């Protein structure tokens, strides 16, 4: 049966806020959680996955049919923070899911797990899901870890996960690079719904983008889940390119899937 009650972690974040609006239309009853208060959702559980004790985590997961796990530091940060929030937090979530008998997670991975992969040339095939991990940051490394963690919990415990390597999920693409990586909010909801309901996913890794004309990676495995994207960033192309110029794939900060994540100096907290 299709999952009904879904724990949504990171409910106060960028994608989480969009999904709180859009997922209920698919019939889900969301249980929002975040380490910050969730605006407009006084019922949301305040929970820091990295530091919560086992009881609090198990209580959060008790009775849910599935989890959409979006909680994370979503950009580069110093390793200690990434380790706590993304790595330890995700492992703690899986452990509580295992203890409570939750059978399916849909987890926000990121294309930054493979961010150092070169942007494919014009006639080259799109980057496949099976391309080796090439994280561009500690952030991307934590997403690569998340994919391995999902595989471990499938192989050892039979807990299913769809790891979604999200491109750039915003109301509109904000740069020329995002013409390739954009995932519209509507398509994100369609994709999470497909990932929650597709039968027998084991551990499946897919890319999460709209049907962009300038797409860099292979959406076939995503479509195989039943995902039918409706958006294409191309309608924003003329304006973005007029403003910023075409992508220069000979530039170090534009030649890889991860774009500027590959070259940005670390913005670590002192």
Q: Which residues bind ligand 15L (CB under 6 A)?
A: 74-75, 110, 112, 168, 178, 181
Query: Which of 3, 140 has the CB closer to ligand 15L?
Result: 140
Phi/psi at 3 (5° precision): -65, 145
Query: Which of 5, 213 has the CB closer to ligand 15L?
Result: 213
| 139 counts as catalytic | yes
Query: Which of 110, 254 has the CB closer to ligand 15L?
Result: 110
Q: What single DSSP character describes residue 52?
A: -
Q: How far is the CB of 178 from ligand 15L (least distance, A)?
A: 6
In degrees, rounded to 5, the angle at the alpha carbon of residue 76 between the alpha carbons of residues 260 and 154 is: 110
Q: How far is the CB of 251 from ligand 15L (least distance, A)?
A: 16
- Residue 195, Cβ density class (10 Å: 0-12 exposed, 13-18 middle, ≥19 buried): buried
Query: Which of 33, 180 has the CB closer to ligand 15L?
Result: 180
Q: How far is the CB of 239 from ligand 15L (least distance, A)?
A: 18
Query: What CA–CA distance (Å, rounded) separates 188 from 179?
Result: 16
Among 28, 139, 153, 236, which one carries the catalytic annotation? 139
Query: What CA–CA distance (Å, rounded) separates 43 from 38?
Result: 9
Query: What CA–CA distance (Å, rounded) separates 104 from 159?
Result: 6
CB–CB of 209/185 below 8 Å? no
DSSP string covering 114-168, please?
GTTSBPP-TTSPPBPTTSPP--SSHHHHHHHHHHHHHHHHHHHH--EEEEEEE-E
Q: How far is the CB of 253 from ligand 15L (least distance, A)?
A: 12
Query: Which of 15, 159 has the CB closer to ligand 15L?
Result: 15
Q: How far is the CB of 249 from ligand 15L (least distance, A)?
A: 16
Query: What CA–CA distance (Å, rounded) separates 137 from 35?
Result: 23
- Where in the sequence numbering do the catalytic residues fall? 139
């Amino acid at each position: 049966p299709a999952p009904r009650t879904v724990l949504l972690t990171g409910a106060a974040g960028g994608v989480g806020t969009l999904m709180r609006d859009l997922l209920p239309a698919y019939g889900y009853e969301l249980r929002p959680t975040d380490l910050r208060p969730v605006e407009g959702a006084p019922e949301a559980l305040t929970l820091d996955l990295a530091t919560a004790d086992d009881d609090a985590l198990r209580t959060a997961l008790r009775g849910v049919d599935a989890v959409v796990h979006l909680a994370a530091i979503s950009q580069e940060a110093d390793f200690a923070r990434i380790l706590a929030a993304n790595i330890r937090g995700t492992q703690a979530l899986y452990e509580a899911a295992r203890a409570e008998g939750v059978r399916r997670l849909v987890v926000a991975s990121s294309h930054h797990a493979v961010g150092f992969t070169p942007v494919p040339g014009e006639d080259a095939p799109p980057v496949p899901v099976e391309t080796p991990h090439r994280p561009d940051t500690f952030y991307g490394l934590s997403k690569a870890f998340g994919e391995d963690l999902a595989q471990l919990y499938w192989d050892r415990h039979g807990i299913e996960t769809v790891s979604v390597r999200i491109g750039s999920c915003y109301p509109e693409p904000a740069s020329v690079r995002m013409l390739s990586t954009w995932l519209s909010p509507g398509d994100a909801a369609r994709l999470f719904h497909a990932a929650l309901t597709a039968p027998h996913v084991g551990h499946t890794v897919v890319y999460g983008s709209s049907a962009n004309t300038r797409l860099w990676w292979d959406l076939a495995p995503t479509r195989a889940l039943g995902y039918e994207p409706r958006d294409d960033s191309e309608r924003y192309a003329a304006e973005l390119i007029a403003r910023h110029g075409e992508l220069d794939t000979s530039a170090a900060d534009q030649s890889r899937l991860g774009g500027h994540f590959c070259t940005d100096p670390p913005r670590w907290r002192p």
